[in-house]
Structure 1
Amino acid sequence: MRQLEVKTKITSGLSVFIVQILTASALGVIIYIAAQQSAADNITVGGFVSLFTAMGLLFSPIKRLTQVNDKLQQGLAAAQSVFNLIDQASEISPPKGDLARFSGKLTFQHLHFAYEGQTSPALQDISLSIMPGETVAFVGASGSGKTSLANLIPHFYSVTEGQLLVDDVNINDLPLETLRANIAIVSQDVVLFNDSVAANIAYGAMAEAPRDKIIAAAQAAYAMEFIEQMSDGLDTPIGERGVKLSGGQRQRLAIARALLKDAPILIFDEATSALDTQSEHKVQQSLEKLKQGRTMLIIAHRLSTIAKADRIVVMEKGRIVEIGQHAELIEKQGIYAKLYQVQMTG
């Protein structure tokens, strides 16, 4: 920011300097011509003085116009960003259908994915079936493709090659409204609004949810224990981005949202990585409630949080390298066992 500000000031100063030099040069030429005219008695002394005074008065307006150009250029640069966003193509969605409830089955068939403008693929030849009600954890080093895989399920990005099926239907054939109504996401960075606790649990499509359902969701997420200690309970404002809450409390509100939505597919994206041990324990208790009867995908760096998963999928450089339960993968002494050993000894 400092370097950019210095660059802006230098550019602005140079533009004013150059314009004033040009103006002064032009004024000098005009005075020379006027002096020649005066020597030849083609112009009176009063006319010469009037012309010189008028020319001198042009300096200040020209300088102000140069400064206006600085603001104009900054505005054009900002406008370019705004119009680039406005001009982006809207998401393509098949015609709306009935908001049917999915069973939660997910099938990846030789799936490949690459981000726009990237030469190397983020995901390569992913083949995996997740049955309804199954809890599957995805682990691996940063950049292994875990979050990329999760972002394909709600169709935030389109599959480059292969197929992603939800309840044996290609995701490209499902209306976005129907697809996303059946998916709940709990991410590490919880988005909260400067509103009451109740409004943050029930927002968007769930804004008209009955009070008793909001309370039930908060209780199931183990959030009522801190909500009841607030001055106005569920009606207590939590500040911009939930600044009045701790990290664990914000996560439990996010889980309460997912419980209220009651979606059959839940994506839990590294939501406990920044929590202390006590907060993580509370969130884990909430998860045990949340995963009942739902297909759950858990992305986690802390391997201790996924030991109870039905299956653990180990990813490396966009590929699946190991699949199995915690005990099986430890016995294999492969990549998962090494990751687990590093975390336990670290």
Structure 2
Amino acid sequence: MKAPSAQPALTPPPTGGWDTYKRLLSYVKPFWVAFSLAVVGNIIYAAASTGMAAAMEYVIAAIEHPTDENRLLLTLVIVGVFALRGVGTYMSSYFISYVGRHVINALRNDLFDRMMTLPSRYFDDNASGRLVSKLTYNVEQVAEATTNAVTTTLREGLTIVGLLGFMLYTNWKLTLLFLTIGPIIAGVVSYASKRFRKISRRIQGSMGDITHVASESIVGYRVVRTFGGEEYVRNRFRAVSERNLRQSLKMAATQATSVPVIQVLVAIAIALLVWMMLAPEIRGEMTTGQLVAFLTAATTMAKPIRQVTNIHAKVQKGVAAAHDIFETIDEAPEEDPGQHAPERVAGDIEFRDVSFRYRDQLDDVLRDISLTVPAGQSVALVGRSGSGKSTLVSLLPRFYEYTGGEILIDGRPLRDYTLKSLRAQIALVTQNVVLFNDTVAANIAYGALRDCSREEIRAAAEKAHALEFIDRMPNGLDTVIGDNGVMLSGGQRQRLAIARALLKDAPILILDEATSALDTESERHIQEALETVMKGRTTLVIAHRLSTIENADRILVMDKGRIVESGRHDELLAAGGAYAQLHQVQFSEQA
């Protein structure tokens, strides 16, 4: 029984609850054997439950004629019926759980796989806490709809069918009378279903808010405590938790109301049956045993009807959660139309009249950027915060798609390259270092670098001046550094990121404030290492400290999304323009 493969990239989004549930059940297909065994188990359970009602005729007969044969038969019937129910319960519960957990595993993997292919704008628009909530809370709600709900619906539904069949066989007139209450019950269930689904969507939204607020507060606990934000985050968390509580209580109230209403309707139908059964023209030639068996079947039906009604809330929760999950799975992945996949590029970069604007913004962030960087040269980007430096370099690995102009590497447009090949040519070090709760070695040799030898990892760490603190750690390269490198200082984390970039040995290097978190002594060592690694590589450097880019082949000064100056350090100083002003301000501050 293999896990199902990922869903097609762009399945049309479901439009209704039944469409969503059908798509959810399509995940069951690879496990049809286990599902069939569960159905067989439910059929056995339903047959045994129907047999218990039918056996009442023999119970009455045994009471009226207490012979040894009847006593033995009645004993065997009781043991047999309960043994069958036990076998049916085991088969239905285990095999449906087997199917359900595999479905959840496949659904969670499909959701995570799709998240890994979505463009940057999706993560800009959706808080990480809400996305985590989809992978955890929402998927577990789907588990309820595909395990408990299916088990109960099949078992109790088949029991209802079996009991109705027995009742029709015994007296079809009385059965039709009993069924007149059916449309009213269906109306109550339909109303409750719509309300369950609407409230479930609100509950999922509030759970996403809870995860989002909690994760922000936990990750940023130092800022919270330093700035006295405890009361603020408490109130914020209580507000979203209160919203979740209100929606959960509405769900409970709807369920608590619908169940007794349906029970009263069933009770009215049973009372009507009892009243009609006493009429000779309706009773006909039914024996006392048959009457008791018929009434037992009708009363036994109350429990499965209540169970099916109860489970409806879980089904609607699951449907609402599945709809939310499928919306993410149906999101368009990053466009990857390119076919060109060279092993290594030379590193010539050209920007031709490149413009860019973020979605829903009216003004361009970058305007008519034209720039040529020959292979092996280093270009530094400087300018005030918000001038477009980081946005410009983020277009190169296609984290965002430029909206105008063209970017070329080795004379080929970026879109000609496959995303995997393009990003393999680029090493990136940003000011916001991302590390993982793993060993130092695993953080340096991350992802596609995982097959690098121990010697190569040590060499990269040495060039990044990271060995001086790595060798002091309890287990050296095998030391686990905690969540996002919490055990390391800012400078140490930065040096690990630089070691990772050094190990990749890519022809294009992007350094976005790569030395921003270093003290003066560490910066001097790192600057030497960076100058070594930059040789023979096309390098784009974003720097706040102008002293770190004085030796760049060219310096570009950016302002309001445009390049306003270009030249070498001494040339720009002599020109007395924007760069000279920035340099003068920093020189004065340092003095």
CA offsets per residue over residues 244-301 of structure 1, 9 Å max, x none? 3222122222222222222221000122334443443333232122212222111123
Using the alignment, how far apart are the partners of 2:583 and 2:277 within structure 1? 95
**1:341 Cα deviation after fit:** 4.2
Which has the bigger relative contact order, CA under 8 A and spacing at least 6? 1
The one of 96, 100, 106 equivalent to 2:344 is: 100
Q: Does the C-alpha gap of structure 1 residues 73 and 304 become closer, same or farther in structure 2, counting only changes over 3 Å? A: farther
Structure 2 match to 1:151: 394
Structure 1 match to 2:545: 302
2:430 matched to 1:187? yes
State the percentage of identical aligned residues. Answer: 45
The one of 227, 236, 239 equivalent to 2:479 is: 236
The alignment partner of 1:288 has SS state of helix
Q: Does the C-alpha gap of structure 1 residues 283 and 78 become closer, same or farther in structure 2, counting only changes over 3 Å? A: farther
The one of 277, 280, 294 equivalent to 2:523 is: 280
Using the alignment, how far apart are the partners of 1:36 and 1:199 within structure 2? 73
Using the alignment, how far apart are the partners of 1:313 and 1:67 within structure 2? 61
Unaligned runs of 5+ in 2: 1-209, 211-236, 279-298
The one of 345, 348, 353 equivalent to 1:110 is: 353
Using the alignment, how far apart are the partners of 1:35 and 1:258 within structure 2? 79
**1:27 Cα deviation after fit:** 8.1
The alignment partner of 2:552 has SS state of coil
The one of 436, 447, 455 equivalent to 1:212 is: 455
Query: How many residues are aligned here?
Result: 339
Q: Does the C-alpha gap of structure 1 residues 71 and 300 become closer, same or farther in structure 2, counting only changes over 3 Å? A: farther
2:490 matched to 1:247? yes
Q: Does the C-alpha gap of structure 1 residues 61 and 226 become closer, same or farther in structure 2, counting only changes over 3 Å? A: same
Q: Residue 383 of structure 2 aligns to which amino acid in structure 1?
A: G
Q: Does the C-alpha gap of structure 1 residues 66 and 225 become closer, same or farther in structure 2, counting only changes over 3 Å? A: same
Is the Cα–Cα contact under 8 Å of residues 139 and 299 in structure 1 kept in the other structure?
yes
Higher-strand-fraction structure: 1
Structure 2 match to 1:345: 589
2:243 matched to 1:7? yes
User: What is the TM-score of this pair, normalised by structure 2?
Assistant: 0.49
Q: Does the C-alpha gap of structure 1 residues 68 and 25 become closer, same or farther in structure 2, counting only changes over 3 Å? A: closer
Unaligned runs of 5+ in 1: 45-52
User: What is the TM-score of this pair, normalised by structure 1?
Assistant: 0.78
**1:242 Cα deviation after fit:** 2.5
CA offsets per residue over residues 43-76 of structure 1, 9 Å max, x none? 99xxxxxxxx99x999x97996586478547734
Q: Residue 242 of structure 1 aligns to which amino acid in structure 2?
A: G
Output aligned runs, 1:129-140, within 5 Å.
129-140=372-383
Using the alignment, how far apart are the partners of 1:169 and 1:206 within structure 2? 26
Using the alignment, how far apart are the partners of 1:229 and 1:190 within structure 2? 22
Is the Cα–Cα contact under 8 Å of residues 494 and 517 in structure 2 kept in the other structure?
no
The alignment partner of 2:541 has SS state of strand
Using the alignment, how far apart are the partners of 1:62 and 1:9 within structure 2? 25
Structure 1 match to 2:329: 83
The alignment partner of 1:108 has SS state of strand
Using the alignment, how far apart are the partners of 1:74 and 1:279 within structure 2? 53
**1:206 Cα deviation after fit:** 2.6
Is the Cα–Cα contact under 8 Å of residues 439 and 479 in structure 2 kept in the other structure?
yes
The alignment partner of 1:143 has SS state of coil
Q: Does the C-alpha gap of structure 1 residues 7 and 131 become closer, same or farther in structure 2, counting only changes over 3 Å? A: same
Using the alignment, how far apart are the partners of 2:327 and 2:532 within structure 1? 43
RMSD between aligned alpha carbons?
A: 3.8
Is the Cα–Cα contact under 8 Å of residues 494 and 518 in structure 2 kept in the other structure?
no
Structure 1 match to 2:370: 127
Structure 2 match to 1:173: 416
Q: Does the C-alpha gap of structure 1 residues 322 and 9 become closer, same or farther in structure 2, counting only changes over 3 Å? A: same
Structure 2 match to 1:47: none
2:259 matched to 1:16? no
Q: Residue 427 of structure 2 aligns to which amino acid in structure 1?
A: A
**1:22 Cα deviation after fit:** 6.6
Using the alignment, how far apart are the partners of 1:166 and 1:95 within structure 2? 11
Using the alignment, how far apart are the partners of 1:247 and 1:316 within structure 2? 29
Is the Cα–Cα contact under 8 Å of residues 201 and 254 in structure 1 kept in the other structure?
yes
Higher-helix-fraction structure: 2
The alignment partner of 1:79 has SS state of helix
Using the alignment, how far apart are the partners of 1:300 and 1:309 within structure 2? 11
Q: Does the C-alpha gap of structure 1 residues 292 and 100 become closer, same or farther in structure 2, counting only changes over 3 Å? A: closer
Using the alignment, how far apart are the partners of 1:291 and 1:20 within structure 2? 69
**1:127 Cα deviation after fit:** 0.7
**1:32 Cα deviation after fit:** 10
Using the alignment, how far apart are the partners of 1:203 and 1:32 within structure 2? 68
Structure 2 match to 1:50: none
Q: Compare 19-28 and 234-243 and name the one that shifted more.
A: 19-28
**1:221 Cα deviation after fit:** 1.4
